[in-house]
């Protein structure tokens, strides 16, 4: 607070926070981008703990969505919903950051697509996947004999979210290419292509270890991509937001 009683503001007109070296808009943007770093480790960590503790779960045969079944299924439901909300928060931070850094290819659609991925995760948590491939224990091997509304909803939201993620990677690759940042452009493009191939494999219904483990690898790569992009935007977002 200044001697005149008027709180100082940054170039964006947003009040300065902390020691006055950052305006509120920039501070909020950076905080939102932080969720892009946290979301992946949270989702994978909670999933791996469940995989180790849940009777009959096999990481080489079952995807994490099946953990939403059974007595402790609420843990995976909460994992999906909370991770989805964090992803949406990161998408908002991405939109704010790209707006400050200057509009260009992908600056509008990438955050929207990333938010779509987050919505897909939330929806996949609300609609529970049908038991299959022997999980929970006692379930027959192979696909479910009859799909339920919950199982169909899970597939629809999952497919929607994954399609949005793949598109977000490819769209952001255009943004980085326009900035002559070839490394980040190729990282985004490769992530999108690898995830597309892995998603097609898992969507085929195959429970072979190669397909399931391959999808696991693609999931980890995608979360790594989101973390790297979030850190990159965090570092490039100026503490004092310029006027546009």
Backbone angles phi, psi at 130, to 5 degrees: -70, 140
Closest CA to 222 of 36, 46, 60: 36
Backbone angles phi, psi at 166, to 5 degrees: -60, -45
Encoded tokens for 234: 């965090």
Please tell me the predicted confidence (pLDDT) of residue 2. 44
- DSSP category for residue 15: B
In the chain, where the domains are located: 20-130+148-236
- Residue identified by tokens 């991770």 is 83
Task: Determine contact, residues 49/69, Cβ cutoff 8 Å.
Answer: no
Please tell me the predicted confidence (pLDDT) of residue 137. 85
pLDDT band at 52 (very low <50, low <70, confident <90, very high): very high
The more confident residue out of 61 and 8 is 61
Closest CA to 192 of 212, 205, 174: 174
- Residue identified by tokens 């629809």 is 156
Cα separation, 65 vs 69, in Å, equals: 8
Cα separation, 173 vs 169, in Å, equals: 6
Q: Highest mean pLDDT: which of 132-141, 186-195, 234-243?
A: 186-195
pLDDT band at 35 (very low <50, low <70, confident <90, very high): very high
Cα separation, 184 vs 191, in Å, equals: 10
Cα separation, 242 vs 26, in Å, equals: 10
Q: What does the pLDDT look like over 92-138, one tens digit per residue? A: 999 999 988 877 778 889 999 999 999 999 999 999 999 888 888 88
Cα separation, 225 vs 216, in Å, equals: 14
Backbone angles phi, psi at 202, to 5 degrees: -75, -30
CB atoms within 10 A of CB 243: 7
CA distances from 17 to 7, 12, 50, 58, 212 (A): 10, 13, 40, 49, 47
Q: What does the pLDDT look like over 106-117, one tens digit per residue? A: 888 999 999 999
Task: Determine contact, residues 90/43, Cβ cutoff 8 Å.
Answer: no
CA distances from 213 to 58, 59, 64, 216 (A): 11, 7, 11, 5
> Strand (E) positions, the chain?
16-17, 22-23
Rounded to 5°, angle at Cα 120 from 140 and 186: 105
């Amino acid at each position: 607070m200044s001697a005149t009683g008027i709180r100082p503001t940054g170039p964006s007109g947003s009040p300065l926070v902390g020691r006055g070296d950052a305006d509120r808009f920039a501070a909020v943007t950076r905080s939102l981008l932080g969720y892009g770093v946290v979301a992946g480790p949270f989702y994978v960590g909670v999933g791996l703990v469940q995989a180790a503790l849940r009777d009959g779960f096999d990481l080489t045969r079952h995807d994490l969505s099946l953990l939403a079944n059974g007595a402790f299924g609420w843990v995976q439901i909460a994992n999906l919903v909370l991770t989805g909300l964090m992803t949406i928060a990161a998408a908002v931070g991405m939109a704010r950051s790209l707006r400050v850094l200057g509009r260009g290819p992908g600056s509008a659609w990438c955050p929207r697509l990333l938010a779509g991925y987050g919505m897909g995760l939330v929806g996949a948590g609300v609609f529970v996947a049908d038991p299959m491939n022997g999980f929970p224990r006692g379930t027959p091997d192979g696909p479910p004999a009859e799909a339920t509304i919950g199982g169909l909803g899970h597939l629809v939201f999952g497919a929607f979210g994954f399609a949005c993620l793949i598109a977000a990677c490819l769209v952001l690759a255009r943004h980085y290419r326009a900035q002559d940042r070839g490394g980040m452009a190729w990282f985004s493009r490769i992530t999108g292509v690898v995830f597309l191939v892995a998603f097609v494999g898992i969507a085929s219904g195959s429970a072979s270890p190669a397909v399931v483990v391959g999808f696991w690898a693609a999931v980890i790569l995608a979360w790594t991509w989101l973390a790297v992009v979030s850190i990159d935007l965090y570092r490039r977002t100026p503490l004092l937001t310029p006027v546009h």
